[in-house]
Structures are given as C-alpha cells and as structure tokens.
Amino acid sequence: MKHWLWLSVGVLALDQVSKWLVLAALAPYEVVELVPNLNLTLMFNTGAAFSLLSDAGGWQRWLFTAFALAVTLVLVIWLLRLKPGEGWLAAGLALIIGGAVGNLIDRVLLGHVVDFIQVYLPFIPLALFNPWPSFNVADSAISVGVAMLIIESLRGERGLDAGAER
C-alpha cells in the first residue's frame, strides 16, 4: 500500500506551496475576502489545534514536533501494513501523514504553523468560534483523513455486528 504515500506527498506539496504563496502575498492579519464568510488571513500558530498552548513560552514547539514525528512514523508503519482492498483506510492515513508533515515542516523551519484560511460560520452564535480558528491545507487534510478513519471504523463495526447475527 506504499503507493498511497503519493497522496501524502501531494498534500504536503499543496500545503507548502499554498503557505509560501500566502506568506509572499499577505501581511500578518491582513484580510482578503474571497467570498462571503471565507477569507484569506495570514496568521501564525505556535500552539496546536485551536492554538492550544500557544502562549506556553516556546517549549511546546519541540513537544509538538516530537509528537508529529512519532504519530507520522506510526501512521506510515500502519499504512505499509495494510492489505489490498483497504484503500479507504489507506487514503485516510495518507491524508493525515501529508498534513502532519506539512505542519511539522513549518514548526521546525519557522517555529510556528502558517494558517491562512478563515471561515465565518453564520449559523453559530458570534461568541462561539466565530470566526472559526484559521487553518491551512494540512489541517484540512488531517481533518478529512480523521473523518475517513472514523467512517471506516464505523463501517467495520457494522460488519462485525452483521457477522455476529448469523
């Protein structure tokens, strides 16, 4: 299943190219409205998801770097051990790997992750995550990959339940 690593490479390339284009084009916190409720806004995240530990003083950079390396290694091993026919699971893992490495590169080279996609969710009260915390292509790939893993696990559980009824 190693051919799925090309998806990881594609995500990584798209992530890094998009970040460098935004870094070249926008000043920090500059807002460019693409369509209503969707902006490009250059931001820097020294923390994890939702800026967790962003004000921790710098040590979190290396914690998140080590965590990303460990998770990536485990996911690559898992991917390489999959059997033919487990393409959905392989695609989900490849998306997560590509996204994790994309943010890892930012953290190591820049000391922070470059975020630039800003979404306003008009159906959510203003006090609750509005605008939604900025994110990037890597974050999107990780989110889609995790959703695919959850769907696969639910499909697997239904298969086990159906087999138990026989």
CB 4 within 8 A of CB 123: no
Q: Is 115 a catalytic residue?
A: yes
Q: Which of 15, 55, 106, 115 is catalytic?
A: 115
Q: Considering the candidates 55, 106, 139, 161, report the single residue annotated as catalytic.
A: 139
Which residues carry out catalysis? Answer: 115, 139
